[in-house]
């Protein structure tokens, strides 16, 4: 792992720039200075956006771009990863060739291309920065294990390693990882081999459980700061992927403050660009000093705005088969263009209709500020769906129905949860999850953990009508991949394979 840890040690001053590929300047240093690490240690969550951009003790940036060292406008941190995870699913359709299209075609999962590099470098840097924070705190505070900043760094390390495991682990073969040896010589150390998956998940679980314990009673000053509810949500996600459904249910409940009520849809449905929305649990507040402009989530995902995913460029659309399964009385149907309505862009004020909007175009994500929409990483609505799924899978069908009904009654007033039971309830929970979390980064990893494979070709029957897939606008993208296929897994970047002889075997 020589290459990645050298790369991590490069501290970049990310400058404001025009829309071009040359928008980063790096300060080649062999290590982070104590001053810079101390500054990061005050706000470890900044590493989600700025793992390379701490300079002169300040967060001076207008771009969190090039975090994965790919030099492209699809490389801007956590939300860029979220887009790739949806692009590799079956519910998002690309209307043409644009940024992220090679993730959509599954070419980016292979060792020599930037997609796997972006994913691996981003989370490896995030975990590395978390370890540096722990080291910095322990250097000055003998009571560091009781520090809330230390706890939040633990949470970030667990979050990063978990996200690496989801796409790079192959059965019992996990990932290499770095850790801070706080019991020994207090240095950073690496396990360079493919550590067994069980051991990596034990580390992830230990990190998050310790963070949860330390953050008990801590009140975060804003939603950009991790608290025990966010850590509970992380734990619910981890147990969801490991199949420990009782714990996944328990921590989803804790994440919700032990309250299964849903936030009203009228409140939730604000364009998903406001961190202060009551449904938001965790995110990043984006403003004029932190916007990444063209290389940003809303540039790619706000159809009504100016950007790469706008009505003037290549929109992201919903799969026609999923759209057909959204009840006509479900308010979320308006998240996608029906081919009839006339709209006015909130950010640009221009009229949008069938002349400039493709059928099924995404209308869910709306940034009225033009490139200063906030980033959302976790919502209460997701936790309700986590609870519903975990309750069902652990044998609590009543609890699953309660959580699902609470969510759905705010979306569809005449929703009848009692129409489902047994396998039909499982499929209904999964369907509503696919609808609710569309575009939020769960599609690819959900099909992996459900062991259902990728389906972009088969028609579905909805209310007696056969609905065909609308994948294939981009040639070569209308394909299926069976569950368990090697294609549903990333290869490690070739730069890491070449630099680390212990990182074997490579994923197929």
Q: Rounded to 5 degrees, what are φ and ψ at 474?
A: -85, 120
Q: Roughly how many angstroms between the first and final C-alpha of the chain, as a whole number?
A: 20
Contacts of 384 (CB under 8 A, 6+ apart): 252, 256, 260, 262, 403, 404, 406, 407
Query: What is the DSSP secondary structure assignment for residue 121, as one 8-state letter?
Result: H
10 Å CB burial of residue 62 (0-12, 13-18, 19+) is middle
**Model confidence, pTM:** 0.91
For the record, the structure tokens of 494 come out as: 């070739």
Nearest to 353 by CA among 337, 366, 365: 337
| Cα torsion angle, 223, 227, 228, 231, sign | positive
Query: What pLDDT does residue 314 have?
Result: 86
CA distance 120 to 122: 6
Task: State the 10-residue block means of pLDDT for the chain, 508 residues long.
Answer: 34 26 27 58 79 31 41 87 98 95 97 95 93 89 90 97 98 97 90 98 98 97 97 98 98 98 98 98 88 88 92 90 98 97 94 95 94 95 99 98 98 98 98 98 98 98 97 97 98 97 97
458-470, pLDDT tens digit by residue? 999 999 999 999 9
Query: What pLDDT does residue 71 have?
Result: 62
10 Å CB burial of residue 398 (0-12, 13-18, 19+) is exposed
The residue written with tokens 């720039």 in the block is 17
Query: What pLDDT does residue 49 have?
Result: 78
Query: What pLDDT does residue 408 have?
Result: 98
Nearest to 195 by CA among 164, 239, 230, 151: 164
Give the gyration radius of the chain's Cα atoms.
22
Query: What pLDDT does residue 36 have?
Result: 59
Query: What pLDDT does residue 184 have?
Result: 86
For the record, the structure tokens of 216 come out as: 């008990």
| Cα torsion angle, 334, 336, 340, 345, sign | positive
68-83, pLDDT tens digit by residue? 445 688 988 899 999 9
Is there a contact between 123 and 178 (Cβ–Cβ < 8 Å)?
Answer: no
Query: What pLDDT does residue 40 have?
Result: 67
Query: What pLDDT does residue 17 have?
Result: 27
For the record, the structure tokens of 412 come out as: 């569809």
Is there a contact between 221 and 372 (Cβ–Cβ < 8 Å)?
Answer: no
Nearest to 35 by CA among 121, 140, 151: 140
């Amino acid at each position: 792992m020589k290459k990645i840890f050298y790369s991590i040690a490069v501290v970049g001053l990310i400058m404001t720039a025009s829309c071009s590929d040359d928008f980063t300047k790096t300060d080649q240093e062999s290590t982070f200075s104590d001053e810079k690490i101390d500054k990061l240690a005050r706000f470890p969550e900044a590493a989600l956006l700025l793992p390379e951009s701490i300079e002169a003790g300040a967060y001076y940036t207008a771009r969190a771009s090039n975090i994965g060292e790919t030099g492209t406008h699809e490389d801007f941190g956590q939300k860029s990863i979220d887009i790739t995870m949806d692009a590799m699913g079956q519910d998002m359709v690309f209307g043409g060739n644009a940024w992220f299209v090679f993730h959509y075609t599954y070419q980016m999962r292979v060792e020599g291309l930037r997609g796997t590099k972006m994913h691996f470098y981003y989370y490896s840097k995030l975990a590395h920065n978390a370890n540096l924070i722990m080291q910095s705190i322990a250097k000055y505070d003998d009571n560091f294990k009781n520090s809330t900043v230390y706890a939040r760094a633990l949470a970030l390390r667990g979050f990063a390693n978990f996200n690496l495991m989801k796409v790079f682990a192959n059965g019992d073969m996990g990932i290499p990882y770095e850790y801070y040896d706080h019991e020994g010589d207090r240095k950073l150390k690496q396990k360079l081999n493919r550590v067994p998956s069980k051991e990596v998940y034990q580390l992830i679980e230990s990190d998050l459980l310790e963070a949860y314990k330390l953050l008990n009673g801590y009140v975060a000053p804003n939603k950009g700061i991790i608290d025990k509810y966010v850590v509970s949500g992380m734990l619910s996600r981890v147990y969801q992927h490991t199949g420990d459904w009782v714990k996944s249910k328990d921590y989803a409940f804790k994440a919700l403050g032990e309250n299964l009520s849903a936030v009203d849809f009228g409140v939730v449905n604000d364009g998903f660009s406001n961190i202060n929305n009551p449904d938001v649990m965790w995110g990043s507040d984006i403003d004029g000093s932190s916007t990444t402009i063209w290389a940003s989530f809303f540039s790619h995902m706000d159809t009504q705005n100016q950007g790469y995913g706008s009505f003037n460029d290549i929109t992201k659309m919903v799969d026609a088969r999923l759209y057909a399964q959204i009840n006509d009385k479900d308010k979320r149907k308006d998240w996608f263009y029906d081919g009839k309505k006339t709209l006015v862009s909130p950010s640009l004020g221009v009229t949008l209709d069938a002349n400039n909007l493709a059928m099924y175009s995404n209308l869910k994500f709306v940034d009225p500020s033009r490139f200063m929409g906030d980033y959302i990483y976790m919502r209460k609505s997701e936790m309700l769906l986590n609870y519903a799924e975990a309750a069902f899978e652990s044998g609590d069908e009543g609890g699953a129905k309660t959580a699902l009904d609470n969510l759905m009654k705010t979306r569809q007033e005449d929703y009848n949860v009692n129409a489902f039971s047994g396998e039909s309830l499982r499929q209904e929970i999964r369907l509503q999850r696919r609808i609710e979390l569309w575009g939020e980064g769960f599609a690819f990893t959900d099909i992996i953990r459900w062991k259902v494979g990728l389906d972009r070709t088969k028609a579905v029957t909805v209310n007696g009508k056969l609905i065909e897939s609308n994948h294939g606008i981009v040639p070569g993208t209308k394909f299926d991949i069976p569950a368990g296929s090697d294609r549903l897994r990333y290869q490690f970047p070739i730069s890491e394979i070449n630099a680390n002889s212990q990182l074997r075997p490579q994923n197929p």
